Amino acid sequence: MDARNTIGALSATGADRPPRSLAAPSGRWGETVVKALLALCAAISVLTTTGIVISLLTPTIAFFSEVAIGDFLFGTDWAPTFTPSSFGVLPLVVGTLSTSLWGMLVAVPVGLLSAIFLSEYASPRVRKVVKPIIEVLAGIPTVAIGVFALLFLSPTIADVFPFMVNIAPFSAGIAGLAIGLMIVPIIASISDDAMRAVPAGLREAAYGLGATKMKVATRVVFPAAISGIVASIVLAASRAVGETMIVLLVAGASPRLTFDPGASVQTMTAFIGTTATGDIAPGTVKYDTIFAVGSLLFVMTLLMNIVAIRLVRKYREVYE
């Protein structure tokens, strides 16, 4: 073996040589090429984001050269296809908030209580069966949930509670219920993980002080896992806001400024979904409207996701 490669040669004869590293003396170019290719794969994700921002931004700027930004954000009348047209986006925003709100009203209590059950009360055997079932059911496509809501929930609920469905079969409340079913697994699964990350020592200390099981679950474990729990809720809310197929099927298509659960409303996603399917010519205001609404939706969900990512990181730092 070449003497230069032994470590002993370094101090003995290396007085006039540059300092050596442990890396191979001549880098293999194949290794560099592989690294560059892999880095390119990772860069695709950044390109995707850039692509999303550019594809949203350019038509949105064109849109705002036609419509004043104040009229768009604070206008209360959404009629882009009528003449004279009106571009107040508030009815779409309220429609989105309404369906999401009803969905969260179902999903937050059910999801959190399910998470407490899975993490604190369920025996390991029950947990081992129930958690995978919930995770598999979380994979049900939203179009299937939408069909379920349209063909089953809407007629059934209209029979029992007529105030929930003003114009059959469309209703913001029923769309919300279906969205709730969609996001329950997200809240249950992530909150369960967060609560299980709470160290057993906290529970044992509380039991040692005489706390009941319910007190340990609600006053010790739940607050200790709060950032993960809030993260799951924010993440679920962002899913609810971005959901398209359920609202396209059961929320209706009438942009209206109301939180009435029985009303038919149009959400931002539903507007994009219905408008962009037809053959619309690029460059027209109608085409640009899709992108303006899309930008608003993107910004809303992006903010929620950033909050969720921060919170998840926080609870990881505390207990790992």
Partner 1 sequence: MSLDRLQPGGSARTQLAVVGARSTTLTAQNGGDKLKGNLFYALLLLAIAFALAGLTAIVVQAFVKGSPALSTHLLTDPPSAIADRAGFRPAIVGTLYLIVGVIFLVVPLGVGAAVYLEEYADRTRWWNRLVELNIQNLAGVPSIIYGILGLAFIVRGPLDLGFILAAGSLTLALLVLPTVILASREAIRAVPPSIREGSLALGATQWQTIRRQVLPASIPGILTGVILAISRAIGETAPLLLVGAATFVTFNPSFFSDDGYTALPVLIFNYATRPQDEFRVLASAGVIVMLVVLLAMNAFAVWLRNRYEQQW
Check binding of 284 to partner 1 (CB under 8 A): no
Tell the smallest beta-carbon distance from residue 9 to partner 1 (Å). Answer: 19
Tell the smallest beta-carbon distance from residue 146 to partner 1 (Å). Answer: 7
Judged by beta carbon, residue 48 or residue 65, the one nearer partner 1 is 48
Determine the interface stretch with partner 1 among 86-94, 200-208, 220-228, 272-280 (rule: CB under 8 A).
272-280
Those residues with Cβ within 8 angstroms of residue 273's Cβ, 6 or more apart along the chain or in another chain: 244, 245, 248
Judged by beta carbon, residue 32 or residue 86, the one nearer partner 1 is 32
CA distance to 56, 256, 271, per residue, from 288 (Å): 9, 21, 13
Check binding of 146 to partner 1 (CB under 8 A): yes
Phi, psi of 315 (to 5 degrees): -75, -25
- Count, residues near partner 1 per rule CB under 8 A: 93
Determine the interface stretch with partner 1 among 10-18, 71-79, 158-166, 269-277 (rule: CB under 8 A).
269-277
Check binding of 254 to partner 1 (CB under 8 A): no
Judged by beta carbon, residue 117 or residue 258, the one nearer partner 1 is 117
Tell the smallest beta-carbon distance from residue 11 to partner 1 (Å). Answer: 23
Check binding of 252 to partner 1 (CB under 8 A): no
Determine the interface stretch with partner 1 among 4-12, 71-79, 183-191, 200-208 (rule: CB under 8 A).
183-191
Tell the smallest beta-carbon distance from residue 133 to partner 1 (Å). Answer: 7
Angle, CA 219 vertex, CA 218 and CA 225 arms, to 5°: 80
Check binding of 263 to partner 1 (CB under 8 A): no
Q: Which of 11, 21, 26, 277 binds partner 1 (CB under 8 A)?
A: 277
Check binding of 134 to partner 1 (CB under 8 A): yes
Tell the smallest beta-carbon distance from residue 84 to partner 1 (Å). Answer: 27
Buried b / exposed e across 40-56, counting CB within 10 Å, b at 16+? Answer: eeeeeeeeeeeeeeeeb
Check binding of 206 to partner 1 (CB under 8 A): no
Those residues with Cβ within 8 angstroms of residue 227's Cβ, 6 or more apart along the chain or in another chain: 194, 311, 312, 314, 315, 318
- Partners of 86 in the beta sheet? 79
Sequence length of the chain is 320
In the numeric block, which tokens belong to residue 204? Answer: 């044992």
Judged by beta carbon, residue 137 or residue 205, the one nearer partner 1 is 137
Q: Reduce the secondary structure of 70-130 to three states and give it as a string.
A: HHHHHCCCEECCCCCCEECCHHHHHHHHHHHHHHHHHHHHHHHHHHHHHHHHCCHHHHHHH
Determine the interface stretch with partner 1 among 7-15, 37-45, 73-81, 85-93 (rule: CB under 8 A).
37-45
Phi, psi of 167 (to 5 degrees): -120, 105
Those residues with Cβ within 8 angstroms of residue 28's Cβ, 6 or more apart along the chain or in another chain: none
Judged by beta carbon, residue 66 or residue 135, the one nearer partner 1 is 135
Tell the smallest beta-carbon distance from residue 235 to partner 1 (Å). Answer: 7
Judged by beta carbon, residue 19 or residue 210, the one nearer partner 1 is 210
DSSP characters over 243-276: --HHHHHHT-S-------TTS----HHHHHHHHT
Check binding of 55 to partner 1 (CB under 8 A): yes
Q: Which of 154, 171, 269, 289 binds partner 1 (CB under 8 A)?
A: 269
In the numeric block, which tokens belong to residue 47? Answer: 């390109």
Name the residue among 94, 121, 291 with its Cα closest to residue 216.
Answer: 121
